[in-house]
């Protein structure tokens, strides 16, 4: 069906009609972002799932019914049958798995967000300086990045974990020290492209300082890439922390994370008699990482103007 609104505009679908009906509405950056983001159904579902996971971690004391660190050998490796006392059973020490999942989420998510913050901050500053000044400075700084990237990541993580205190902040610093290079290269590439634009030349002509041009005029235009990489960095941090904790180099007792919970499932006998000890923490890691991946894809599609034009 085609509706002729005037001599120049024709509406051929309900989507076009809705677009013309909304012409009078005031557009804002958030509305534009949400309109693009909600087109990705998986990203929207992942966003709501992440909100639920984060809220459950924050409300862990209210949602748990047992002390997550309390040892009760009388209920050691209780069968998985749902019960009012233990919703998900117990581990090899008789500790409630439901409570440990909730409190473990706090540590895993904290490490993820802190790692993203440290890596993004250092990588953004490093890449900004390298890309803005270019020349010999850029060449020297990027060769250092290439050297770090050529080293085995897990090897570096294990070495750093042996010298840094294994708490949430320490683990976040360890993981971010091996992950900021990718952010630096992305930001550096954007700066090399943007510093030749007319608005930067205008800022130079007005006599603005280099720091003001970097952080006020160029850096905001790289925010889309930085935000998208933040979600991916959280993924990397959660998986890396889980690996270190599984190896016994991560968060130490009495604190614990999802990766630390998997440490208890290394024994073959425990896995045969109580496989849920490994299933539930592994499933929590899998769902959270998958949600951050889908969420990051949705952010990329909504924030990248090139992708907007292709759709």
129-170 tens-digit pLDDT:
888 888 888 899 999 988 888 878 777 787 877 777 778 888
| pLDDT at site 240 | 85
User: Is residue 16, in this structure, part of any structural domain at all?
Assistant: no
- Is residue 8 included in any domain, yes or no? no
For residue range 183-202, list pLDDT tens digits in order: 888 888 888 888 888 888 88
Is residue 188 within 8 Å of 131, Cβ to Cβ? yes
Q: Is residue 27 part of a domain?
A: no
Query: Considering the domain boundaries, does residue 13 fall inside one?
Result: no
Domain that includes residue 73, residue range? 33-310
DSSP state of 96: B
DSSP structure string for 111-141: HHHHHHHHHHHHHHHHHHHHHHH-HHHHHHH
CATH assignment of the domain containing 207: 1.10.3720.10
Report pLDDT for 51: 93
Reported as type and span, the H/E element at residue 23 is: none
pLDDT band with cut points at 50, 70 and 90 for residue 118 = very high
Answer with the residue of higher pLDDT: 23 or 63: 63
Taking the C-alpha atoms of residue 288 and residue 80, their distance in angstroms, rounded to an integer, is 23
- CB burial readout 157-196, b (16+ within 10 A) else e: beebbeeeebebebbbbbbbbbbbbbbbbbbbebbeebbe
pLDDT band at 77 (very low <50, low <70, confident <90, very high): low
- Residue 49 pLDDT > 90: yes
Count of the separate structural domains present in the chain: 1
CA distances, 194 to each of 63, 191, 197, 210, 299 (Å): 49, 5, 5, 14, 21
* 7 in a structural domain: no
For residue 20, being part of any structural domain is answered with: no
- For residue 288, being part of any structural domain is answered with yes
- Domain membership of residue 70 (yes or no) is yes
Q: What is the pLDDT of residues 254-306, one digit of tens each?
A: 777 888 777 766 766 667 777 777 788 889 899 999 998 888 888 877 776 55
User: Strand, coil or helix: what is 247?
Assistant: coil
Mean pLDDT, residues 55-65 taken together? 86
Q: Report the C-alpha gap between 287 and 290 in whole angstroms.
A: 5
Span 82-104, average pLDDT:
74
């Amino acid at each position: 069906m085609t509706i002729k609104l005037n001599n120049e505009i024709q509406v051929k679908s309900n989507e076009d009609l809705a677009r013309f009906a909304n012409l009078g509405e005031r557009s804002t950056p958030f509305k534009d972002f949400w309109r693009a983001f909600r087109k990705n159904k998986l990203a929207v579902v992942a966003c709501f799932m992440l909100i639920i996971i984060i809220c459950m971690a924050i409300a862990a004391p209210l949602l748990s019914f047992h002390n997550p660190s309390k040892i009760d050998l009388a209920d050691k490796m209780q069968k998985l049958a749902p019960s009012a006392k233990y919703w998900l059973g117990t581990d090899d020490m008789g500790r409630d798995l439901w409570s440990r999942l909730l409190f473990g989420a706090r540590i895993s998510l904290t490490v993820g967000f802190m790692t993203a913050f440290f890596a993004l901050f250092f990588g953004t500053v490093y890449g900004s300086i390298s890309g803005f000044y270019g020349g010999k400075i850029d060449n020297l700084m990027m060769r250092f990045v290439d050297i770090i990237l050529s080293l085995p990541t897990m090897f570096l993580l294990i070495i750093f974990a042996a010298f840094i205190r294994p708490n949430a902040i320490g683990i976040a610093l360890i993981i971010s020290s091996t992950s900021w290079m990718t952010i630096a290269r992305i930001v550096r590439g954007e700066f090399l492209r943007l510093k030749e634009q007319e608005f930067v030349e205008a800022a130079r002509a007005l006599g603005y300082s280099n720091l003001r041009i970097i952080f006020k005029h160029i850096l905001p235009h790289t925010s889309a890439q930085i935000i998208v990489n933040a979600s991916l960095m959280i993924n990397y941090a959660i998986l890396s922390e889980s690996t270190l904790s599984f190896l016994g180099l991560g968060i130490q007792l009495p604190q614990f994370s999802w990766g630390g919970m998997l440490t208890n499932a290394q024994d073959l006998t425990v896995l045969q008699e109580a496989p849920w000890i490994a299933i539930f923490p592994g499933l929590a890691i899998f769902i959270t990482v998958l949600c951050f991946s889908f969420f990051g894809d949705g952010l990329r599609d909504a924030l990248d103007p090139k992708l907007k034009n292709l759709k």
